[in-house]
Each structure stands twice: as C-alpha cells, then as structure tokens.
Structure 1
Amino acid sequence: MGMGTRRKKIVEEEPSQSPSLSEDGGSDSQGEGSEDAGSDDGSSRYEQVREQRIKENMERMHKLGLLDLSLKLKPPKKNPPHKKKKTTPEPNLSPQRRSSRIMTLAPVNYNEKRVRDSSSKESKELEIFIPEGTNPEFYTEEQEKFLGDCETAWELYVDGYDEDGNRIYDPIKGETCHQCRQKTLGEHTQCNKCELLQGQFCGDCLYMRYGENVMEANQNANWMCPPCRGICNCSRCRRGKGWMPTGNIYSKVSKLGFKSVAHYLIKTRRSESDELEGSASGADSTLNRLSTRTLAQRDAEDLRE
C-alpha cells in the first residue's frame, strides 16, 4: 500500500467537525472542547500510521536482506593496543667481583668525553700543501733580496669594486693583471724595466702575493715587476719552471706570520735548499775523509811491505 493511499484513507475516516456558532457569532464551549479532542485524536492517528510504516519498512528490508548486509559492511571495532608498562630494572644485589689487586684503584669512567685538541685542529687548518712539480722548487739568496715591502698597508677588496663589494670586470676600459688574468678597473702597476703587459699587477694581487702597495710602486721610478725580479708566483710562470700552482693560500700564510705568498715560498724553500746543500756538502766532506783515510792506509801497507 502506497503513502498516498494510506493518507487518503485516514482523511476519509476522520469525521468532519465544524464548530457550532452561537447566535451572537461566538463559538460555544462545547465546540472548543470537540476541536481539542479532534486535534489530539489526529496526532495519535499520525503516530500510529508512522509506527506502522516503520514496521513495514523494516519487514521489507529484512526480506531483502538489507539488514544483514549493513551489519556486514560495518567495520569491526578494534581494541586499543595495550600500552606496555615501563619496568624499572631491579637493582643488582649480588656482590660485585673485584680483584684484591685493583680494589685500591679508582674505577674507570668510560662515559668521559674526549677533549679535542684545539692546537692540532688549528695546525691542520693552517697546513699548506702544494703538489710537487717536475722540477724541485728552490730559491737563491739574490731572489730573497728581491722580496718587496710597503710603508702603508693596502686595503683589500675596495679598489675596482662596486658598492655591493663585487669586482668590476670591463673588457674595454679594464687592464689585465698578470697574476689573476682578469681585465678589471682600478690601479695597476707599470714596470720601469720591461715596460710590457707582464708588468701589470692589480692592487690586491700585488699586496697578497708580493706584499707591496700599488700606489708606492707607481711612485717609484726604479720599480721592477716580479717577473723581471724572478720571483713571480703566478700559475703560468710556475708551470714554466716545472712547479705546480699554489692556489689561494694568502689567508693561511698571513696567519703563519708571513707578509705575502712570495715571502712564504722564498723563505721556506730557501731554508729547505740550504739544508739540502748542507747535507750534500757534509756527505761530500765525509767521502773526502774516507777516501783520504783509505789512501793513507794503503801507503802505510806499502811501506810495511
């Protein structure tokens, strides 16, 4: 039976009640009472019809098997995992075995952290490594005399740089530095001996690599460039001598107390070459003494015979 049919049947069964009006146009008390009773009767009938409809729907769902299907589709309830209780380890009440030989000694603490040696770390940071070339690197006493100096320190990373601290490269107006091979703006040297492009050094390279001030060099009428003095340490000149390039080692040599890279190379390699020459001369003198002793022994044996 459809919803429309049931509602029509309910309407037909309900008696039509109209309030009786009195002569003066008002409704009497009997009419009001009957209207209230009719409204209560209508609400109870609606509840009965609603319950009947729910019952019929449940029976229909049961016949179709929808109730069992809905129960199967519900996910099973998962039991919450049991939390493991933290257990504190029981104290070891058994007597500790200690040898009588070590009972007087303090127990060893294996949890102590090793203290890093800051001096060894600094020495590793200041270690300078230059690969060996095809020829041994050494310098003469005359080259050490050609090391430059300056009266005023040169301020690095200012001349030839913009406001943001970036170096200005200009292929047209710039001048090529013999050391860094960059065509930049700023002060550059001019060699009074060769008067060639090899005598052009920018202010930063001249100060870091040779310990000289570019302004003082340009004011000196007898100034010679490092290639003319035989102390140039650029990559091209070093490879021409069979030596490997040094790389950027200015910060390390300055921490070691050297004025420039040239001062570090010449002073350290000069001492090494002196030691090699001393050891070689010592070996030669030892050989001479041995040969002289051998000749004297032979002369003595000849006299005995």
Structure 2
Amino acid sequence: MGRLRTKSDYEDLRSARILENQARLASLGLQKTVSELRSIASSAKPAKAHVREYNKKDYKITPLRRSDRLKQTTATAADADVTPKQISRRRSARLRGKEEESEERSRSWGRVKASGLELQLSPEDSARRCKSKGRGNVYNPVFGICCHFCRQKTLCVEEDCKRCGNFDMDQPCIGKTDCSVCHSSYGVLCRACLKVRYGEEMEEVRKDKEWMCPHCAEETGFNPYWICNSSMCLRKRKMPPTGLAIYRAREMGYKSVAHLLMDELLQRANKSRR
C-alpha cells in the first residue's frame, strides 16, 4: 500500500506541474499548437530569389582589337590580294640567324643542280669531296650514308664512286664498308674511322668479300674481344667512351683503338680467372 500511495503522490505532482506550465504559456500568448504553427509556415509564400539575367555576347559582330603593326599588315595583304600568312613575319636576330644558317646549310649540303632528270654535283663541291681522304666533308642527307662511328652522313671521298659522284641510288657507296653477314648500319664505317678505330684499310676491306663488322665477328666467336668501340655500343656494355684514344694506343704500340681495347679486355678476363 505504501508503494501505491507514493505513485499517486507523483502523479498528482506531475499533473499540477503540467497545469502550471500551460497557464504560464497562456500568459505569454504561446498557446498555439505545433500543428497551427506548421500550417502558418506552409501557407506563407517564399520570397522570390533574384535571378541574374545572362546575356550571351556575340563575338562575331564584335570588332577584334589589333595592334598598329597587325592593322598595317592586314591592310597590306588586302591591297596586294594576298593572305597575311604570306607576308614576312618579324623575327628576332637570333631566329633570323638560325633561319639563315638553315638555308645556307640546305644550299651547301650538295648544291645539287638538276639537269633534266639527272642530278649533278657542282664542280666546287665535287673537287672538295674528292680532296679529303678521310671522313668526307660534303654533307648530304639524301645520298650520304651515315658512318656508325662518327655518325656523319657525308658523301664518300672516292673519285670513282657512282653513288656519291653521280647520285646513282642503284649503285653502292664504295667509300663505306658493308658487313657480309648483317648488312646493317653496324657495319657501315668510313675510311677514317676504319683506319683509326680498327686499323684496317678500305682497299683491303673492299677486296675481302667475307669481311665482318666487329659485332658479327664477336657473335661468331671469331674474335671474342674484338668489339665495336663506338660510344653507343660502349655505353650498352656499361663502358665509358674512349674519346681520342688513338694517340694513347699508338704511344703504347697498338695499331688501333680496337687492338688496345682487345688487349685490355683480355687482361681483365685473365685476372678474373685467377
């Protein structure tokens, strides 16, 4: 019975407090229910947001700004009935120098004169081509064959070469070597590189129909340490380029750079076996 009485006292106290709160809300004018407040809020119209008008600009009818130089160029093109691209552009001194150098080089790489369907080398370049007995000093990107070592695409120095002298593409260049095995660019060497880097003469190589380049000679096992000593091939072997090693080779009594490297590689191999 004590528990029921305690519960009844709690309910009486709760009811009295609810009545007290309702009277306080009424005195403050807050007797409206939640549903009434929601209906008032939903009936109120939201304020119209300000929308910025977008006007698309038509650039086709808008005149483009031009500098005085471009205006003058356009006017000159219109008077001459040519396009503005055909009028020469301004160039800095550096760019003008490069363009003139490029034009001069294109004129000097052979000074080829067309006579009907036949191409001929100018007399001065023909004399200059045969004057040198090394790598050649007449550059020609069309008829010249690139040497694997010096990578110079020049005409050969042989007087009776029909390819470099008469520009006959069907004839081989007798001033550059050709490997009998691979027939690739690895076996193309000019007279000077063949002599300095490998100690061989062009006349002897032309007579030897079974001549092999250093790459093929090493692969066949004919000369295991007879390697190509061009900078590209040495880098593939993780070896530093030799540079002008011919002077050191000759001072040490070797015939060429290839003979020097062959002896050095052989000595390293013997030391590693011990």
Alignment TM-score > 0.5, same fold: no
How high is the TM-score relative to the length of structure 1?
Answer: 0.37
User: Which one has a bigger Cα radius of gyration?
Assistant: 1
Structure scoring higher RCO (CA < 8 A, sep ≥ 6) equals: 1
How high is the TM-score relative to the length of structure 2?
Answer: 0.40
